[in-house]
């Protein structure tokens, strides 16, 4: 199997270069349980993954200040910080839904880091109302514990090299996982994986940094084709457990079987993961430093892949606010941690990028946009409620794209950087950096200035 051959190859390269072999990757799987009033954590298992740590050990400390949560790994004896990363989670989104007000749920999550040489103390932290990280959970871990799981993982179908530009320690490693593909559909997955890779590198700033990325792919064989869509009575058991209807949102696609996802992904070097679902119905999702998802067979796959990857890769917020969503924001409109949305239009995070002379807040054709969007969203809901053919939704999207391109592309400040009200699912109180962006609409605007800057910072964190 390729996964068994890959590790010795990396170790050999390190030896030839006169460097110490990179440490293995250690993973802690844990349960995250709670509701709107409290949350609790508990270790499930610790896994020594089969491959070396893919990242740059000189950049082990996270400086991005991204994520609703973060975790820190420190040497237990000395207190020296060895590794840290910010992240978001399915639980972190779920706790903002109406369901979390009524019941408690538990989600499986994981922490991955280079295997330390001695016992460590691990802390999981969460932002408070002022965006400062506060410790929620602390536990100790001995990397020499004989109970750490080391058995081989499940069949992942063999490693596919989509693009290799250098040693993993010096590159951003992205893994594309296929879910819902039978063994006979492996060729279909490879074609779709190559397609979305090219779509990603059509967008700035990924385009300018293509040589900073390695892209890998795995496609564990599924017993049947496609993924679950419970709202239409479709239920399937796939290797990664990917499904539509997350949190009751028909277009939100997530993979809820975290342990299965991690055991498959462990067979490739990765820092970021995109799950391609073998499906045609419009849908996807993205969670910072967890994964992003997209329906590979949809006509909007180029937009879907890049938009959702933006959430996962750089912690970007959705800038749209007229579509139905399951999550809710605080009515007090606290400053979001995401880099492309702000509650303070007079002092936005992207103030260094502001176009001189642009008024703050920045006027735009907001009333015309919202008036049109009301009718559009009504028609969109009707198509889904009647389970009409996907071609009807495609036609509606095309009509909406033409309208938005014309409206947003001809506005006075449409090409300027300012603070445009309407973002983060809210019509009032949150602002975005430009009138249009791939995080706002499905037209061809590309990423806005704030998004591009955030993506650049993450690339610099992982690539040399």
164/130 same-domain check: no
Contact 120, 80 (CB under 8 A): no
pLDDT value for 9:
44
Residue 238 sits in which domain range? 160-314
Whether 19 is covered by a domain: the verdict is no
Give the model confidence (pLDDT) of 294-352 as tens digits.
999 999 999 999 999 999 999 999 999 998 887 888 888 899 999 999 999 999 999 99
- CB atoms closer than 10 angstroms to residue 98: 12
**pLDDT grade for 202, boundaries at 50, 70 and 90:** very high
Over residues 201-221, mean pLDDT: 98
On whether both 291 and 215 belong to a single domain, the answer is yes
- What pLDDT sits at residue 13? 42
Question: pLDDT of 109-138, one tens digit each?
Answer: 999 999 999 999 999 999 998 999 999 999
Is there a contact between 27 and 112 (Cβ–Cβ < 8 Å)?
Answer: yes
The reply to whether 152 falls in a domain is no
CA dihedral 288, 289, 295, 298 (to 10 degrees): 60
Residue 108: inside a domain, yes or no?
yes
* Nearest to 112, CA basis, from 170, 173, 159: 173
Using DSSP, state whether 185 is helix, strand or coil.
Answer: helix
Within 239-365, where are the H helices? 258-265, 301-314
Pairing of strands 69-75, 172-179: unpaired
What tokens does 362 get?
């920045």
* Distance, CA of 162 to CA of 196 (rounded, Å): 11
Share the mean pLDDT of the chain. Answer: 94
380 domain residue, yes or no: yes
**Rounded to 5 degrees, what angle do the CA atoms 325, 330, 336 make?**
85
CA distance 140 to 144: 12
Higher per-residue pLDDT: 407 or 40:
40
Backbone angles phi, psi at 289, to 5 degrees: 60, 25
Residue 416 lies in a domain: yes
Sequence-ordered list of residues with C-beta below 8 angstroms from that of 406, at least 6 positions apart, any chain: none
Residues 178 and 291 in one domain: yes
122 and 170 in one domain?
Answer: no
Please state the domain count of the chain: 3
Same domain, 258 and 204: yes
Do 169 and 267 lie in a common domain?
A: yes
H/E segment holding residue 162: strand 160-163
CATH of the domain at 234: 3.40.390.10
Q: What is the pTM of this model?
A: 0.93
Where is pLDDT greater, at 401 or 9?
401
**Picking from 46-55, 309-318, 319-328, 379-388, which range would have the lowest pLDDT averaged per residue?**
319-328
Q: Is the pLDDT of residue 416 over 90?
A: yes
Are 272 and 364 in the same domain?
A: no
Averaged pLDDT, 163-170? 97
CATH number for the domain spanning 62: value is 2.60.40.3250
Alpha-carbon span 154 to 237, nearest angstrom: 15
Give the contacts of 114 (CB within 8 A, at least 6 positions apart): 22, 23, 24, 25, 26, 53, 55, 57, 60, 82, 83
Which is more confident, 429 or 15? 429
Based on the fold, state whether residues 244 and 290 are members of the same structural domain.
yes
Q: Quote the pLDDT of residue 330.
A: 84
* Displacement of CA 86 from its chain's centroid (Å): 12
Residue 452 lies in a domain: no
What distance in Å separates the CA atoms of residue 357 and residue 374, rounded to the nearest whole number?
A: 32
Interval 222-255: pLDDT, tens: 999 999 999 999 999 999 999 999 999 999 999 9
Q: Determine what percent of the chain is predicted with pLDDT higher than 90.
A: 87
Q: Is the pLDDT of residue 2 over 70?
A: no
- Residue 19 — pLDDT band, cuts 50, 70, 90? low
**CB contact set of 248 (below 8 Å; sequence gap of 6+):** 97, 99, 326
Same domain, 182 and 307: yes
């Amino acid at each position: 199997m390729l996964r068994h051959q890959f590790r010795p190859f990396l170790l050999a390269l390190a030896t030839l270069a006169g460097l110490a072999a990179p440490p293995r990757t250690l993973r802690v799987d844990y349960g995250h349980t709670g509701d709107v009033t409290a949350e609790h954590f508990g270790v499930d298992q610790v896994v020594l993954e089969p491959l070396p740590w893919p990242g740059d050990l000189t950049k082990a400390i996270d400086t991005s200040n991204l994520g609703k949560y973060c975790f820190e790994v420190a040497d237990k004896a000395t207190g020296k910080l060895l590794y840290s990363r910010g992240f978001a989670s399915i639980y972190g989104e779920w706790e903002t839904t109406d369901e979390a007000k009524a019941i408690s749920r538990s989600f499986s999550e994981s922490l991955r880091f280079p295997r330390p040489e001695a016992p460590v103390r691990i802390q999981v932290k969460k932002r408070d109302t002022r965006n400062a990280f506060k410790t929620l959970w602390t536990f100790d871990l001995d990397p020499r514990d004989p109970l750490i799981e080391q058995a081989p993982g499940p069949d992942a179908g063999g490693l596919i090299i989509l693009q290799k530009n250098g040693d993993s320690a010096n590159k951003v490693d992205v893994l594309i996982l296929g879910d819902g593909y039978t063994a006979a559909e492996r060729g279909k997955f490879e074609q779709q994986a190559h397609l979305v890779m090219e779509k990603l590198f059509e967008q700035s700033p990924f385009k300018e940094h293509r040589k900073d990325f390695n892209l890998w792919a795995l496609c564990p064989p599924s017993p049947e084709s496609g993924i679950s869509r419970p709202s239409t009575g479709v239920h399937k058991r796939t290797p990664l457990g990917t499904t539509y209807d997350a949190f009751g949102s028909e277009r939100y696609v997530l993979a809820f079987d975290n342990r299965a996802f991690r055991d498959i992904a462990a067979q490739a070097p990765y820092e970021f993961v995109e799950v391609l679902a073998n499906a045609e119905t419009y849908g996807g999702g993205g969670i910072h430093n967890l994964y992003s998802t997209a329906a590979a067979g949809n006509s909007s796959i180029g937009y879907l892949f890049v938009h959702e990857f933006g959430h996962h890769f750089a912690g970007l917020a959705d800038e749209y606010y007229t579509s139905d969503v399951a999550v809710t924001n605080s009515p007090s409109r606290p400053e979001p941690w995401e880099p492309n949305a702000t509650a303070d239009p007079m002092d936005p995070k992207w103030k260094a990028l502001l176009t001189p002379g642009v008024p703050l807040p920045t006027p735009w054709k907001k009333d015309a946009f919202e008036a049109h969007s009301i009718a559009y969203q009504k028609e969109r809901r009707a198509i889904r409620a009647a389970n009409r053919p996907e071609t009807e939704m495609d036609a509606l999207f095309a009509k909406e794209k033409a309208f938005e391109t014309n409206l947003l592309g001809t506005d006075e400040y449409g090409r300027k950087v300012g603070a445009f009200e309407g973002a983060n699912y809210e019509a009032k109180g949150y602002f975005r950096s430009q009138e249009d962006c791939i995080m706002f609409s499905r037209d061809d605007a590309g990423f806005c200035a704030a998004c591009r800057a955030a993506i650049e910072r993450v690339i610099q964190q992982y690539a040399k």
